């Protein structure tokens, strides 16, 4: 069913710490996952993606981990900076065998980085 | 490249009025999407298009119509606005995901719509 919650999960960290943002997905047929960052008043920006045939992928200061057994995705940000403060969304491609590339977005997590 | 642009950036409508939101992309993407984002919720897909002249319903299509007459443009129409349509609207575009091994969508800056 649709979530009607108005309070997003939040994560508060100190500058320089590592951050871990978690996401659970429900469709075992999903074959592609992506993380977006959304700063206040802006559209979502791509961070990193991963296909279901992988369990880890690294980018610049970010790592995405995929655990298909428990349908869990996480985003790790190393040496978090104040500029990383934003809402982070995970999304999955639930289309499975189709090629339409539709993404289904999670609720989002607010990351606040304190100097 | 400008990427994905949206007009207008802000709009206030009275209940029952109509309007059209314009999305344009200069990346020659096949796919385009319209989402709405409400406080405390993720993005919900309204309608999408897999190519010029084609449209399809997403998760929350009621009260909206779309058209894709040109590959670079995707229009979202509200025929009779309701307060429940107060939201931030985002347009996005992407390549043919499966062929390029990525479903990354590129987003515009959003349109903030208030219906009173």
Closest CA to A44 of B3, B78, B51: B3
Residue of A nearest to B91 (CA): A43
Q: Which of residues 12-51 of A touch B (CB under 8 A)?
A: 32, 34, 36, 41-46, 49, 51
Is residue A98 pLDDT above 70, yes or no? no
Per DSSP, the residues of B19-43 read: EEEEEEESS--SEEEEEEE-TT--E
Per-residue confidence (pLDDT) for residue A5, from 0 to 100: 42
Instruction: Assess whether pLDDT exceeds 50 at residue B1.
Output: yes
**For the segment B9-63, what is each residue's pLDDT rounded down to a tens digit?**
999 999 999 999 999 999 999 999 999 999 877 899 999 999 999 999 999 999 9
Q: How distant is the Cα of A43 from the closest Cα of chain B, in angstroms? A: 5
Phi, psi of B81 (to 5 degrees): -65, 145
DSSP assignment, residue A58?
Answer: E
State how far the alpha carbon of A7 is from the alpha carbons of A110, B9, B42, B83, in Å.
10, 26, 12, 21
User: Max alpha carbon distance in chain A (Å)?
Assistant: 45
Interface test with A, best of B55, B84, B97, B110 (most A CBs within 10 A): B97
Chain B residues in contact with A8 (beta carbon < 8 A): 40
Query: Which of A10, A41, A44, A93 is the best mutation test for B, with the most CBs of B within 10 A?
Result: A44
- Please give the Cα distance from B85 to B106 (Å, whole number): 23
Contact flag A101-B94 (C-beta cutoff 8 Å)? yes
Rounded to whole angstroms, the Cα distance separating A108 from A67 reads: 19
pLDDT in tens, A65-95: 999 999 999 999 999 999 999 999 999 987 5
Q: How confident is the model at residue B98 (pLDDT cuts 50, 70, 90)?
A: low
Question: How confident is the model over A4-39, as pLDDT tens digits?
Answer: 345 689 999 999 999 999 999 988 888 889 999 999
Question: Among residues A72, A70, A90, A102, which one has the least CA distance to residue A8?
Answer: A90
Which of A59, A92, A58 lies closest to A73 in space, CA to CA?
A92
Helices (H), chain B: 97-100
Question: What whole-number distance in Å separates Cα of residue A105 and Cα of residue A114?
Answer: 27
Q: Residue A2: what pLDDT?
A: 36
According to the model, what pLDDT value does residue A99 have? 46
Q: Cβ(B47)–Cβ(B102) under 8 Å?
A: no
Candidates B92, B96, B103; nearest CB to A93:
B103
- Mean pLDDT in chain A? 88
């Amino acid at each position: 069913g649709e979530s009607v919650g108005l309070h997003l999960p939040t994560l508060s960290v100190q500058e320089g710490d590592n951050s871990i943002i978690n996401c659970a997905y429900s469709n075992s047929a999903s074959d592609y996952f992506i993380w977006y960052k959304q700063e206040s008043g802006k559209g979502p920006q791509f961070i990193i993606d991963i296909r279901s045939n992988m369990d880890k992928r690294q980018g610049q200061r970010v790592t995405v981990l995929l655990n298909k057994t428990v349908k869990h995705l996480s985003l790790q940000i190393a040496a978090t900076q104040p500029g990383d403060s934003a809402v982070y969304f995970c999304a999955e491609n639930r289309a499975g065998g189709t090629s339409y590339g539709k993404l289904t977005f999670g609720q989002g997590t607010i990351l606040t980085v304190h100097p | 490249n400008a990427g994905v642009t949206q007009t207008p950036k802000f709009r206030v409508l009275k209940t029952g009025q109509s309007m059209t939101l314009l999305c344009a992309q200069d990346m020659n993407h096949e796919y385009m999407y319209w989402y709405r984002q409400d406080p405390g919720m993720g993005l919900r897909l309204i309608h999408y298009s897999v190519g010029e002249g084609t449209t399809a319903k997403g998760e929350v299509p009621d009260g909206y119509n779309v058209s894709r007459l040109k590959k670079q443009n995707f229009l979202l129409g509200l025929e009779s606005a309701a307060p429940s349509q107060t939201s931030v609207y985002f347009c996005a575009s992407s390549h043919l995901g499966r062929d390029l091994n990525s479903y990354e969508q590129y987003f515009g800056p959003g349109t903030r719509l208030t219906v009173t």
